[in-house]
Every structure is written in structure tokens, then in C-alpha cells.
Amino acid sequence: MSKEYALESIEVSLSPRERFVEYLQSRGKRVTQQRMQLVDRIFERHEHFDADELIAHLSQNKETRISRATIYRTLDELVDAGMLRAMSLSGRRVYEHDYGYPQHDHLHCKSCDSLIEFASDELVTLRDAVAREHGFRVTGHRLIITGICAPCQKKQSRPASPLDLV
């Protein structure tokens, strides 16, 4: 991806673990070892994932014992805390980091289900102009452009056949 549309990092004052503890305490919820293990796993690297992928990854580590109910509940809490963003893609709920990550949009390949992140100043300018025209106060946006990625297009293309002329 060109540097023009690449995402920059955002400085945050609290680590994801500290931010989630603050959220739990503000709601009178318990800070448990399982919740902290989930936050550590989810924020150790940036990737899009669904609950089943997270469960499969956690099950590989025999020392980590977290129930499915705790995983689903914690994912919902992380969304409520503004740390994760959930989106529906191809009938599944997919999560991504929202805390410490800039506003961005996605290209979604309908063939391989991959997501490509990008940020565009032109898109934000257009969004703000449309909002101004309608007297609308923007608090955020989400854009997912669906289509077929370049690698999948190559797989789908085939050499021209004389039958194509018929």
C-alpha cells in the first residue's frame, strides 16, 4: 500500500491493560486473571479476528484456561470500553483494535475474506463537507468497501479462449 494511505500510530497515556482495568473498575466489575490474559493476547499484535479464531489460539496454550462465556463477555466489554471495534463481515463478527489506533477504513475481499486498512484525508474532507451541508455533527465513521483483491483477481483470471469470441 502506498505511504499516502498508510496508518500512523497514535500515542496513548495508558497501556491496553491499564485502560481496561480503569474501565472495569469504573463499572464495579472484577479484574480477573482471565480478563487480563485476554487483553494481553488481543493487544500483543494488531490483527483482525473473530471469537472462534481467538478461542482456537487460546486453546493451543494449555496454561490458558478461559471459558467461551468469559471470552464472549470480555469481547463485549472491550467493545463497550472503546478498545475494540466490532464489524460484521460475511455473516461473522470480526474485531479490531480501536484503542491507540487511528480512524481508518477497509477494503474487504469477498473471495478470500481479507481486510486491507487505509486512511484517506480526502475521504475525511468529503465526509465533513457532506455533514456540514446537512448540519450534521460527525462523531466518527466506518467505511467498508467490498470487492476482490489483486491476488484473488489473478487466481480468477484465465487466458483468453477462442470460445470467448463466440
**pLDDT (0 to 100) of residue 160:** 63
- Residue numbers in the known binding site for Fe cation are 105, 141
Pairing assessment for the beta strands 49-50 and 84-89 based on DSSP bridges = unpaired
Q: How far apart are CA 94 and CA 108, in angstroms?
A: 12
Bridge pairing between strands 92-97 and 49-50: antiparallel
Average pLDDT over residues 11-37: 93
Taking the alpha carbons at both ends of the chain, their separation in whole angstroms is 39
What average pLDDT does the chain have? 88
Q: Residue 50's Cα: distance from chain center in Å?
A: 9
Same fold, 13-101 and 102-157: no
pLDDT digit string, tens, across residues 36-94: 999 999 998 888 999 999 998 888 877 778 899 999 999 999 999 999 999 988 888 99
H or E element in which residue 123 lies = helix 121-133
What dotted CATH number matches 102-157?
3.30.1490.190
Looking at 26-35, 75-84, 151-160, which range is the least confident one? 151-160
pLDDT given for residue 1 in this prediction: 47
Binding site listing for Zn(2+): 109, 112, 149, 152
Query: Taking a C-beta distance cutoff of 8 angstroms, is the pair 117, 7 a contact?
Result: yes
Per-domain boundaries in the chain: 13-101, 102-157
The CATH architecture annotation of domain 13-101 reads Orthogonal Bundle (1.10)
Mean predicted confidence (pLDDT) in 113-117: 90
Q: Which residues are annotated as a binding site?
A: 105, 109, 112, 141, 149, 152
At residue 165, the pLDDT reads 64
